[in-house]
Structure 1
Amino acid sequence: MIYRILLVCLALIGCSSWGFAQDQKSFEVKADSSRIEIAADSTVRSVMLAADSLPKPVKMKMEFKPDPKKAVLMALVPGLGQIYNRKFWKLPIVYGGLMGCMYAITWNNRNYQDYSTAYKDIMLDAEEPNRPVEEFHTSWQDFLGVGYDPKEWVSNTNFQTQLKNRKDYYRRYRDLSIIITVGVYALSIIDAYVDAQLFDFDISPDLSMHWEPTVTPQTTYSSRSYGVNCSIKF
């Protein structure tokens, strides 16, 4: 009986010690896991701080290269194609050429209108030259000047021919000015396209010319000749 009681006591003591050991191990595991979490947090924090301290990447600027199609579309407005290609020094040429052409069109057209009206009016007045001077048109009388009698000049064929020739002269140069204006406008568009197309064309600065004396040997068809051989390398 006593032996059984001792066995029961020993069993109870063993269970309690095993439970204590289990609790101690679980506590140690929890402590270790907390240490790992703390260590992990500190590691992440240090990595983030190191990343913040790194220099920020520098954005690389892309090299400018114009698009030929876009350059043509921009060049429909005079000068914008050259601005798009960043060739600002061409703007005075484009605008100067167009302004000069527009001035030539305006000046020639104004003189053409004056001489055209004068010629039409003098031909109408020449049909009834005996009318009073006050009834004559003044458009052709302005080309006579002061001191000339309109009745003497209204039927003057030479004066009429002069008015007609001047009318045709200014009409011809007005039309020529319009053609030149269209040509300058077209050249500005072509210049913008070619400039954009050849923007990155590599032109080597290594240009050299080499010359040397040469002798052509005698053959059955020609005699020996002397000359200079010139070659250009680029």
Structure 2
Amino acid sequence: MIQYVVRFCVGIGLLLLTWLPGHCFAQTVRTDSTEAQVVVPDSAVAAVLASADSLPLPLPELPVFKPDPTKAVLYSAIFPGLGQIYNRKYWKLPLVYGAFMGCAYAITWNNRNYQDYLEAYKGIMSEKPLENNSWIDFLPANANPDDYLNDANFKDQLKRSKDYYRRYRDLSVIITVGVYFITMIDAYVDAQLFDFDISPDLSLRVEPVMTQPTSYSSRTYGLNCSIKF
């Protein structure tokens, strides 16, 4: 009988030893003035917390760039090409500065020729053409200047050349102003249509088609072309 009682007590003790560690979740830690409970998580909770700590943090979303059309026009008006830089259309800069360089060359070249012909025309039309002899440079080689002092055709040629280069110099200036305003308009339109969605689904379909005969026409065959956008 005593043997069974001892076995029973030993079994109860083992049961308590296996039950208490898994169900005692907290212990009390005393400090000088307060009490705090320290929670001891089990292995499953610890695994979840460890996996959560190992996850990468989400990156902050960067603001989407949207150019202001007013700023784009102002920048382009201050200096040509700044509007295109503000809109991040850098590939347009060679076109902008190439156009302005071409206009500047046309203005310089036409103005230089205009000034040369103007001085020559003024010289030959003056009271002392031999002293104001800038027109002699436009004579043929080995020509006698005295033979051209009263030559009406030569004077008219100088006048027409002068007017020709003056007209194209003024036209080059007008074109330069037009290019200036075109760059402003381009910067404004680019800023307005910056986020305009253009679908990449552009397709051309070609398929045969047949028209049924009627009382007025016979059966016809052909191709039907359709563009999807």
Provide the TM-score with structure 2 as the length reference: 0.70
For 2:67, the equivalent position in structure 1 comes to: 66
Distance across 2 between alignment mates of 1:120 and 1:176: 23
Distance across 1 between alignment mates of 2:164 and 2:215: 66
**Does residue 1:182 correspond to 2:183, yes or no?**
no
For 2:132, the equivalent position in structure 1 comes to: 137
- Match for 2:202 among 190, 194, 207? 207
8 Å Cα contact 2:209/2:224 also seen in 1: yes
3-state SS, counterpart of residue 232 of structure 1 = strand
- Match for 1:160 among 155, 165, 177? 155
For 2:7, the equivalent position in structure 1 comes to: none
Distance across 1 between alignment mates of 2:58 and 2:34: 36
What's the CA shift for 1:117? 2.2
Letter in 2 for 1:168: D
Distance across 2 between alignment mates of 1:57 and 1:217: 64
Describe how 1:1-234 pairs up with structure 2 within 5 A.
34-35=33-34, 39=36, 58-76=59-77, 77-125=79-127, 133=130, 136-144=131-139, 147-234=142-229
Distance across 2 between alignment mates of 1:222 and 1:72: 59
Letter in 1 for 2:82: L
8 Å Cα contact 2:124/2:133 also seen in 1: no
What's the CA shift for 1:59? 3.8
Higher relative contact order (CA 8 A, sep 6+): 1
Counting strand residues as a fraction of each chain, which structure ranks higher? 2
Distance across 1 between alignment mates of 2:208 and 2:141: 78
Distance across 2 between alignment mates of 1:112 and 1:85: 40
Distance across 2 between alignment mates of 1:147 and 1:233: 72
Distance across 2 between alignment mates of 1:139 and 1:123: 11
Q: Determine which structure has more spread, i.e. the larger CA radius of gyration.
A: 1
Name stretches of at least 5 consecutive residues in structure 1 with no aligned partner.
1-30, 43-52
Distance across 2 between alignment mates of 1:214 and 1:58: 55
Q: Deviations over 1:202-222 (max 9, x none)?
A: 222222111111122233443
What's the CA shift for 1:191? 1.4
Q: RMSD over aligned Cα, in angstroms?
A: 2.8
Greater Cα offset, 73-82 or 214-223: 214-223
Letter in 2 for 1:116: L
8 Å Cα contact 2:208/2:222 also seen in 1: yes
Name stretches of at least 5 consecutive residues in structure 2 with no aligned partner.
1-29, 39-52
What's the CA shift for 1:35? 2.4
Provide the TM-score with structure 1 as the length reference: 0.69
